[in-house]
A and B are shown apart, each in its own frame.
Chain A
């Protein structure tokens, strides 16, 4: 089983809708969880991180973490065409310090 699994997508939502991106991880000792956004041909950029169970909100973005279920998600409210990108989930395990393990990414398209 891969360290980090994401719903493969692609995901397509209309403008103004809520986009839901999901990620599961295999190591129960994982401590920190990150969502990166990557536009086509560009490098990944961090949009959210979370390390406590529950929700964390930042503008239109909400990260949700459930350590018991080993599940982390990203909700994008009022989706905009500019949100169209690939979203990468990354996990920091407790045993490997600074290393991040990335999922394969979910491609999101927001259509007008």
Chain B
């Protein structure tokens, strides 16, 4: 199985443009997450979804939006990109949002550069 796929692998985007980062999982996991990873700052949670139809804000949600129309897909949208959104974006999923053991599986990442 593919696990989690993300697209695109990398992207250069002009400031002010919009973009959607795609994430699809085939593990039928209930919970999905979007993180950004920046040098020296580690992984920071942007948004999450504990089940299809619901979403929540993480640590750094400003400038980003998400939707969860079905179990498998969790797209992340930048409505008007700014250079500070240059980062590596990881999508992750886990079987359940509420149990103690909550292994999160990560996708391969999208490297985004906003100029």
Q: A: which residues have CB within 8 A of B?
A: 31-32, 34, 42-46, 49, 51, 88, 92, 97-100, 102-105
Contacts and interface: CB of A to CB of B under 8 A. Distances in A.
Contact of A44 (B40, B100, B102, B106): B106
A98 B90 contact: no
- Chain B interface residue bracket vs A: 20 to 34
Contacts of B102: 32, 92, 98, 100
Contacts of B50: 97-98
12 contacts: A32-B101, A44-B106, A46-B104, A49-B101, A51-B101, A98-B31, A99-B45, A100-B102, A100-B104, A102-B44, A103-B42, A104-B40
A102 B43 contact: yes
B42 A99 contact: no
A88 to B, nearest CB: 7
Contacts of A43: 90, 106-109
B94 interface: yes
A25 B101 CA distance: 18
B100 A92 contact: yes
B50 to A, nearest CB: 6
Interface string B25-61: 0000001010100001111110010100000001000
